[in-house]
Structure 1
Amino acid sequence: MAGLETTAANKLSASSRYPNYVLGVLFVVTMLNFLDRQIISILAEPVKRDLGLTDTQIGLMTGLSFAIFYTTLAIPVAALADKWNRSRIIAIAIAIWSAMTVLCGLATNFVQLFLARVGVGVGEAGSAPASHSLIADLFPPERRAGALGILGMSVPIGAFIAYAGGGWVAENFSWRVAFLMAGLPGIIIALVIWFTVPDPRGNVSLAAAFKPDPDKVGLKEALKELSSKPAYWHLVAAGVLVQFVSYGLASFYGGLFVRVHEIGYGELGWKLGVMVGVSGGFGAWVGGKAGDYFGKLRPTLPLLVAALIMVLAAPGMIWAIYGPSANVAVILLAIPTFAATFYYGPNFAALQKLASDETRAMAVAIYLLIAGIIGLGVGPVFVGILSDTFAGELGEAAALQRALAILALFNIWAGFHFWRATRSMPE
């Protein structure tokens, strides 16, 4: 059986259609990844009211609970992805996080919901490193940023479904039903991957994958290699700050619009969904194309463009937070949303260039570890604590606005690190 799978993998990898098929499947995987991850954002306000939570608890539930194992498991899963069947890893991962999303809808208190979100993070830890490693093997360097940009487009589309669908379901049914509907499709996709996406490197037994291999690079060796590349760490810092802002903002979309503009969940969901889907998808697509085009002129040029866009995102986000109406605020939010996805292609393509063939998955995993702990884990909590701190003085609505305005300034910091990466990145 193993021989048949290996032969099938070799035939498929030789076909020009196979890379595009795998990219399409991984597009759906990443879309569901962010659907199940981000649906909590549009549901946070009704969950808060139903379960009687504070903004700090909302930050813990949306960010830290997910990040705990999502980040810590990324390293061992990436090491496994460098040895074992990556398609199997992705299939198992999506089955786990989908089941845990369903359990979120069954939670009756903060602790249960927190633990279910931890489970979502456990599952999603297995997706990105293996997916990026597969794309790096299937696409040549001159097409890699474009492929990663296409993959990045699935992020805002998943968010669109989360916001539009989640808001509509929450308003017409309940937030519990929204979680159930978000989790179930992943089980089907897991089966599709298991049976139709063989790994091009062939089938390796799980037992063999855990055997010590002197030719494989572990975490210690990867850190030693990457420690001599300051450009890598500036890219990590930039990505961390982008996620710090984007997840901190997204976790309180519902709070901002419901408290400040008194908008309904259904209306808010589809408006946010359209904004995120269009501006975020366009940002990822433009970022991928810009990475391929400008990279041919000068390898560091895409990162300079990313730096400029992040700096411009700061005032755009502040204008959105203090927008005079819900419609104006949604439109202005397109600026930081575009910036938050534009960086995806250039940043990850540069990470893959800086890493050796043996450390590709590990380089992404290290990035995800740090970005998850600080960006995803701390960003929403940071906003929640600031909002609760200002609430006594300003009231809930104005307190959240001030907290998010402070968060917007971190975009400038991200731009600085993109610029610094160009100063130390080899041409």
Structure 2
Amino acid sequence: MIDAVVEERADRVAGREFSRAVPGLLVLSLALAVGFAQMGSFSTVQEGAKAELGLSDVTLGLIQGVSAAVPLVLFSIPIGILVDRWNRMRLMLLFAVLSVGGSLLTALAANVPSLFVARMMTGIATTGGLTAALSLAADMCAPAQRGRAMLLVTLGKSLGIACAFALVGWLFGLFAAGFSLFEGGLPWREAHLALAAIAGLASLPLLLLAEPARREVADGPRAAFRGVADQLWARRAFLIPLFLGQVSVVMADAAAGIWAAPMLTRYFALTPQQFGGWMGALLLGTGILGALLGGMVADLGQKSGRRGGLLIGAVAAAAIGVPAALFPLSGSIPVFALALGTLMLAGTITGLITSVAITVMLPNELRGLCLGAFIAFAGLVGYGIAPPLVGWVSLLLGGEQHLAAGLTIVGVATSIAALCAFSVAMRRAPFTPTVRAQPKPIR
């Protein structure tokens, strides 16, 4: 009876604490929406750049994928270490400035190298901001509330991905219809110029947030890096399959997100202004639903008392993603949209649950580093390999006319790999965030 009263009181305190954290979480959500809109903006209008600059599909895949992957591999882990040891709000402001600069450079890029650098800037800024935002969100509320906290942050990411289609598609249509910011400007360039201005204004609320205190600290933010490395190594049986699962999901989602617009243009003869609105609504809807489901399932999984229960939703979502990855073979736009939306829904769920798992199952001084490492590996494999891999598989099948088959092969294979990896991670999950030695996995 006493235990029940104590637990109920703790729940009320955590609930009040979460309510106070909501405004700050919403500001972080808006910042991520701005970042991901800029990161995904080029995909929506890339056919315009292809026509102007004479780019091939492989070159587009390299610009979209490798330009995001290379800097992520080089900078994500150092950024993660900074997140664990430095003022995270200052980092968020720095990333906002870098992302706006990347959009401006995209609008002005005259060749492939400058376009590559521009997309690289938005990739570094957005994924670095994601690492900092997840760490901040975790410290704004208690562990039992983190599914809901990550839900709000993930909604911002989903909104940004949707805006990359809806807002950028609308801007493209506006400038294609005759409205112009400067003489001789092409629609895809002017859309990025306008997006940079919007993003700069939308980032201003970050100035209102203060750095929160860090929670669940084992050795502290000033811990020697050797000690941090030892802690990571002690958790390798859990972290390696968790890494592989989320990286595989990112591969499927990155390939689908980057090649969906060209698929609609080539196979269904749609223009960006024709599909931008409903694609944006689709991705926003699945992002919101995925965040709600992922947050609720993560919190319920923690309450189940089962080892690795937090990851039950990730395993289920990865399983749903396998048939959904067949969307390129659909013969109609409604089926295409339904299957693509299901794939993105599954990806949102696994991404949120993975983030919650890191903030709940690892001590504070490992979170930024692990999030950065996740982003680095996901960037290298997911963005650096998956998009151009689709182009290469298409060429092996006979040419660019086989884009649908190439995209299907990559999507299904990576979805199956994610299902297997998350299942292993669930069986090897740690029981508490600060324990170093891991018990043998349940077989």
Question: TM-score, normalization: structure 2?
Answer: 0.85
**Using a 3 Å threshold, how does the CA distance of structure 1 residues 414 and 227 change in structure 2: closer, same or farther?**
same
How far 1:408 sits from its partner (Å)? 1.8
Q: Is the 8 A contact 1:222 1:363 kept in 2?
A: no
2:367 corresponds to: 360
Which of residues 309, 312, 333 is equivalent to 1:326? 333
Deviations 1:158-197 (A, max 9, x none): 1111101222322342111121122223323444313x11
Deviations 1:347-392 (A, max 9, x none): 1111123321222211211111111111122221211222233343
* Equivalent AA in structure 1 for residue 319 of structure 2: V
Q: Is the 8 A contact 2:80 2:368 kept in 1?
A: yes
Q: Is the 8 A contact 1:65 1:117 kept in 2?
A: yes
Query: Quick one: distance in 1 between partners of 2:18 and 2:320?
Result: 39
Deviations 1:289-327 (A, max 9, x none): 111112201352342332122122121221x21112223
Q: Is the 8 A contact 2:103 2:195 kept in 1?
A: yes
Q: Is the 8 A contact 1:291 1:302 kept in 2?
A: yes
Which of residues 194, 200, 204 is equivalent to 2:212? 200
Query: Quick one: distance in 2 between partners of 1:358 and 1:251?
Result: 34
Secondary structure at the aligned position of 1:324 is classed as coil
Query: Quick one: distance in 2 between partners of 1:140 and 1:36?
Result: 31
1:50 corresponds to: 52
Q: Is the 8 A contact 2:172 2:191 kept in 1?
A: yes
2:397 corresponds to: 390
**Using a 3 Å threshold, how does the CA distance of structure 1 residues 16 and 338 change in structure 2: closer, same or farther?**
closer
Q: Is the 8 A contact 1:243 1:375 kept in 2?
A: yes
* Equivalent AA in structure 2 for residue 198 of structure 1: A
**Using a 3 Å threshold, how does the CA distance of structure 1 residues 78 and 216 change in structure 2: closer, same or farther?**
same
How far 1:278 sits from its partner (Å)? 0.7
Which of residues 310, 314, 318 is equivalent to 2:322? 314
Q: Is the 8 A contact 1:171 1:266 kept in 2?
A: yes
Query: Quick one: distance in 1 between partners of 2:221 and 2:104?
Result: 41
Secondary structure at the aligned position of 1:50 is classed as helix
1:9 corresponds to: none
1:423 corresponds to: 427
Secondary structure at the aligned position of 1:98 is classed as helix
How far 1:331 sits from its partner (Å)? 2.1
Q: Which range moves more in the overlay, 180-189 or 101-110?
A: 180-189
Question: TM-score, normalization: structure 1?
Answer: 0.88
Q: Is the 8 A contact 1:104 1:113 kept in 2?
A: yes
Query: Quick one: distance in 2 between partners of 1:215 and 1:256?
Result: 47
* Equivalent AA in structure 1 for residue 212 of structure 2: P
1:178 aligns with 2:180: no
**Using a 3 Å threshold, how does the CA distance of structure 1 residues 38 and 299 change in structure 2: closer, same or farther?**
farther
Percent identical residues: 25
Secondary structure at the aligned position of 1:108 is classed as coil
Query: Quick one: distance in 2 between partners of 1:385 and 1:417?
Result: 25
1:227 aligns with 2:233: yes
Query: Quick one: distance in 2 between partners of 1:123 and 1:269?
Result: 24
Matching of residues 109-258 of structure 1 within 5 Å = 109-173=111-175, 174-194=187-207, 196-201=208-213, 216-217=222-223, 220-229=226-235, 230-258=237-265
* Equivalent AA in structure 2 for residue 423 of structure 1: R
1:32 corresponds to: 34
**Using a 3 Å threshold, how does the CA distance of structure 1 residues 218 and 20 change in structure 2: closer, same or farther?**
farther
Secondary structure at the aligned position of 1:252 is classed as helix
**Using a 3 Å threshold, how does the CA distance of structure 1 residues 105 and 303 change in structure 2: closer, same or farther?**
same
**Using a 3 Å threshold, how does the CA distance of structure 1 residues 175 and 234 change in structure 2: closer, same or farther?**
same
Which of residues 82, 87, 91 is equivalent to 1:80? 82
How far 1:60 sits from its partner (Å)? 0.9
How far 1:243 sits from its partner (Å)? 0.6
* Equivalent AA in structure 1 for residue 240 of structure 2: W
Query: Quick one: distance in 1 between partners of 2:225 and 2:59?
Result: 33
Query: Quick one: distance in 2 between partners of 1:282 and 1:102?
Result: 32
Which of residues 408, 414, 423 is equivalent to 2:411? 408
* Equivalent AA in structure 2 for residue 425 of structure 1: A
Cα RMSD for the two superposed structures: 2.1
**Using a 3 Å threshold, how does the CA distance of structure 1 residues 17 and 402 change in structure 2: closer, same or farther?**
same
2:7 corresponds to: none
Query: Quick one: distance in 2 between partners of 1:255 and 1:69?
Result: 25
* Equivalent AA in structure 2 for residue 68 of structure 1: V
* Equivalent AA in structure 2 for residue 325 of structure 1: S
Secondary structure at the aligned position of 1:127 is classed as helix
- Where does structure 2 lack aligned partners over 5 or more consecutive residues? 1-15, 176-186, 432-443
Deviations 1:79-101 (A, max 9, x none): 22223221111011111111111
**Using a 3 Å threshold, how does the CA distance of structure 1 residues 385 and 294 change in structure 2: closer, same or farther?**
same
Secondary structure at the aligned position of 1:82 is classed as helix
2:266 corresponds to: 259
* Equivalent AA in structure 1 for residue 196 of structure 2: G
